[in-house]
Amino acid sequence: MATLGRAPPKLLCVNLARKTVRARTHDPKVEVVKHPLISASLASLRAKTTASADFRRALQEISVLLLGHASAAWETVSHRVETPLESCMGEILARPLVLVPILRAGLGMLDGMSCVLSDALVGHIGVYREEETLQPVTYFSRLPPNLSQTQVVLIDPMLATGNSACAAVSLLKASGAEKIQFVCIVSCPPGIAQLQTRHPDVQIVTAAIDPELNDFGFIVPGLGDAGDRYFGTGPSV
């Protein structure tokens, strides 16, 4: 695991006219998780020849690994348990967990995380990116009650422009959420800077920071459209 430096967020050489963006960011709230299993899954996700079934498996696997890292920041409380031999002190989670995928690509990460957090509550936020302006449009939101008492994990495979993530975090906060993490697979400096500028309290956990966005707001080199590849709805390679 590698943690970015402690300088405030910086976005360098960003062309706001939707030209190619090259940037880098440094922020203590951004965690880039380095692990051989994550690297192997990420390589499979990036490869354009990876079939949908293999893409789904790799995305679920990497999501579980990223979740394991994110969970290190969760609050716990002491709890006495009885073993078959005697009692001892243990720790349990202090807050109920809520997984919130951004539709639809976030559902793939949810499939993996739900396997290890079967008792987690699940909310859904539907946000799509308007193709011309790249601005987010929220079309659906269904969240559990009492979010202020929970640990929320917002999930989306990509953090590109950061607009959709910011819209989702704003919606979560308006619904009462106070403890929010954003977990993604691939990010880039413009998206990180956008999210950290608007929501500096939100920790970002990611497997990779790619260098740029193209004219269409896609991360380069990235892994393509995660939703299309996960659900098999994209063009054939």
Total domains present in the chain: 1
d(CA 224, CA 230): 11
Sign of CA dihedral 36, 70, 134, 4: negative
pLDDT tens per residue, range 69-120: 999 999 999 999 999 999 999 999 999 999 999 999 999 999 999 999 999 9
* 236 domain-assigned: no
- Bridging pattern class, strands 21-22 and 212-213: antiparallel
Contact 188, 219 (CB under 8 A): yes
Contact predicate 27/196, CB 8 Å: yes
- Return the pLDDT at 32: 95
Comparing 6-15, 72-81, 97-106, 131-140, the range with the smallest average pLDDT is: 6-15
**Residue span of the structural domain in which 172 resides:** 2-231
Euclidean distance between CA atoms 66 and 224, whole angstroms: 20
Q: Is residue 156 part of a domain?
A: yes
With respect to residue 237, please indicate whether it lies within any of the assigned structural domains.
no
Q: Is residue 172 in a domain?
A: yes
- What's the CATH code of the domain at 192? 3.40.50.2020
CA distance linking residue 141 with residue 236, whole number of Å: 32
Q: Which residues are catalytic?
A: 129, 133, 225, 228
CB 99 within 8 A of CB 113: yes
